[in-house]
Amino acid sequence: MFQPEKDFEEYSTFVFKYLMSLCGNADLAEELTQETFYRAIRSSGKFDGSCKVSTWLCQIAKHIWYQELDKRKRRKTEPLQESGAEDGVESSYCRREQTLEVMKAVHILEENGKEVFLLRITGGFSFKEIGEICGRNENWARVTFYRAKQRIIKEVGRDEM
């Protein structure tokens, strides 16, 4: 049973961390967290208890994030984050290029691998938490992350040859 006040207290930080792992912007993650709980309250009658409340909330959050991405594609907005580090143009450029190569490799992963990799790396979620978010177990999350990481290493290494 979904209990808005109690569940907000218990799961708001969890949902916020999940959204931070997806978008990388604290202000946007906070806004999307609020929208997640608003939609959860509106559709609380549809929650049948077949999964954990945290899993249900993360599924709502994921759909809201996808809607945000669709809006951004239509508006063609700028990237969410810009590097402001002033530790040398060359090192900044190299870091940006390396990040670009890794993100290109992440982009070609299948959906489960991409989601698990981003949750682990950018969100800092444990494998147990990732398993709960995805409706699977901890072992599945570990194996999926390992395979995604191996694929990324292979793709990034191929570009350097």
pLDDT at 58 over 80: yes
The fold for domain 4-75 equals Rna Polymerase Sigma Factor; Chain: A (1.10.1740)
pLDDT score, position 158: 62
pLDDT at 82 over 60: no
Least confident of 28-32, 133-137, 154-158: 154-158
CA gap 18, 119 in Å, rounded: 7
Q: Write phi, then psi, for 124 (nearest 5 degrees).
A: 70, 20
pLDDT score, position 161: 34
CA gap 125, 103 in Å, rounded: 19
| 98-109 tens-digit pLDDT | 777 877 888 888
Q: Which residue type sits at 92?
A: S
CA 70 to chain centre: 16
The fold for domain 89-160 equals Arc Repressor Mutant, subunit A (1.10.10)
Global pTM reads 0.54
Report domain extents, the chain: 4-75, 89-160
